[in-house]
Every structure is written in C-alpha cells, then in structure tokens.
Amino acid sequence: MGFEKLLYITNSVEADAGVIRHIAGLRKLGLLEVILCHPTDGDQWKEQLGAIGLGTKTLTVEDPLIPGLLNAAHREGVSFISSRIDEQTKGWFPKAYPKALLQWSDVPVMAMPAIDGPVDTDGAGMFDHVILAADWSESCRKAMRYLLGFKGFIRELEIIHVVGKRLSIREMRELRQMLSAWRSAFLDHAIDAEFHIYAGKCNEEILLAAKDYGGTCIVMGRPKNSSIKEILRLSNTYRVAEASSVPTIIVP
C-alpha cells in the first residue's frame, strides 16, 4: 500500500518546519501532493513543500467544518487527513475540532507533533519503526489489518499491550499467546515484529514504549464510541495523539 495525496489542515500562515520534516518522510510511501486546507493561500507552505519535491493545492472549507473537511478528503481522494493535534492548537482550527475529527473521520487521521529544528528531507520514513497499541478491540484489529498493507515500508514493528491490573498466571499466559499470534501474523507478511507488555495508564505507557523503542510513529485503532469503555478508549487515543513526539495514526 502507498498513497499519493495527503490533506493537511494548516493552522498558521507560517510553515511548520517540524510538520514538513515528517511529511518529507512520507515520500517513501509515494506521496506526490499535499492538499493544504487553510483560510489563506499558504504561500510559505507551498514554497517549503515544493522545495522537497511535493506538489501542492490550496482549498478552503466552509462551515460546518468537520463535514466539510471529510467531503473535501473524499473529493480529493486523499489517503490521510493530517493536522497538528496538541495543547497549542488554536486559531481557525482550535482544540475542539481535532477531537471531533478523530471521532467522526472515516479516513485515517495522522496527528502531527510539534518538532523544533531544521527540515530533514533525508530523515527516517514515518513507517520505519512502528508502535502498534494492541487492546484486542475490533478497532485495534482493523489497525492491524491496515498495517499489513504497508509491509513493504515497515522495517520494525513493536506490538504494545498495556495492562491496568495485576494478572493471574493463567491470564498472563493467555495474554502472551494472543500477542504471539499477532506477532506471527506480521512475521508471515515479512514484517519484523516483537511484542511487549507494559503496566500502568494506557496513554502514558504507549508514549513510554514509543520512546523506549525509538518509534517513528504510533498506530492506534479508533473506538466506535458505543459504550463507556469505548469512550474511554477514544479519550486515551486523543491523549496519545496530543502528547506524542512522533506522528500518531488513528485508523477508523
């Protein structure tokens, strides 16, 4: 699997060097064009993206914003919708909108972190070392199937499961068997995968795992919001995307 188009929601007139650094890594997946969604013409963004060989197009979206973004994504045939999602998000795309985007998007959402420093056009590809948050939900299984389509791009994959309580010997054995089965599924697709068990708060441990293993992105399934448990999962997903120092991909 590869993709040619990314819809990026710009929240500032000035180009974000950290975001461009990550977008540059997506060229390994076949990215050719970035659709810039911004209320201005985005000249700085066009200039810097053009400097790394990417085509650009600018569009504006009318209210209601989230349905407008999703309609634009389908119309343009993009593979990802992307934006900065952190505590500094403000301007025309303030903090409430990224949460709504994660909740309602039927297109994978790529949450970009804020990274200071120069643009690195030869940096690691975003899928070089993937951190997959595994919780056995159907949304997580969809994320797993989604990643199998990137087998030609993933060099290493860490399957992370976070436990929130003390497990019995039998429960731990069953957990390790399930994780081993997931690892085998990735190995069967020529993806070098290992599994790891963390204990504590889900969002904090996933972020710790990304740091421990030098992850280049975090991948999570998006809960369906049909129960209290799913709502809590969505909250954890947003907390990871908001605080991560690497891109977070949420698969609907």
pLDDT for 32-49, tens place per residue? 999 998 756 668 888 999
Map tokens 């020529």 to a residue: 190
Angle separating helix axes 43-51 and 17-25, nearest 10 degrees: 40
pLDDT for the residue numbered 28: 83
Give the three-class secondary structure for 79.
Answer: coil
Residue 4 CB: number of other CB atoms within 10 A?
13
Please, what are the domains in the chain? Answer: 5-112 (3.40.50.620), 129-251 (3.40.50.620)
54 vs 126, which has greater pLDDT?
54
pLDDT for the residue numbered 234: 62
Averaged pLDDT score across all residues of the chain: 84
How long, in residues, is the chain? Answer: 252
pLDDT for the residue numbered 164: 86
- CA 64 to CA 81: how far, in whole Å? 17
What's the N-to-C CA distance of the chain in angstroms?
Answer: 17
Q: Residue 215 above 90 pLDDT?
A: yes
Q: pTM of the prediction?
A: 0.88
59 vs 193, which has greater pLDDT?
193
The band of 229, judged by pLDDT with boundaries at 50, 70 and 90, is low
Mean pLDDT of 90-107: 72
pLDDT for the residue numbered 138: 86
Q: Residue 24 above 80 pLDDT?
A: yes
Percentage of the chain exceeding pLDDT 90:
48
- CA 19 to CA 220: how far, in whole Å? 20
228 vs 234, which has greater pLDDT?
234
Q: Find the Cα–Cα–Cα–Cα dihedral 155, 161, 162, 166, rounded to 10°.
A: -140
Q: Residue 117 above 50 pLDDT?
A: no
Contact 150, 127 (CB under 8 A): yes
Question: Which pLDDT tens digit goes with each residue over 150-178?
Answer: 888 899 999 999 998 889 999 999 999 99
Give the three-class secondary structure for 165.
Answer: coil
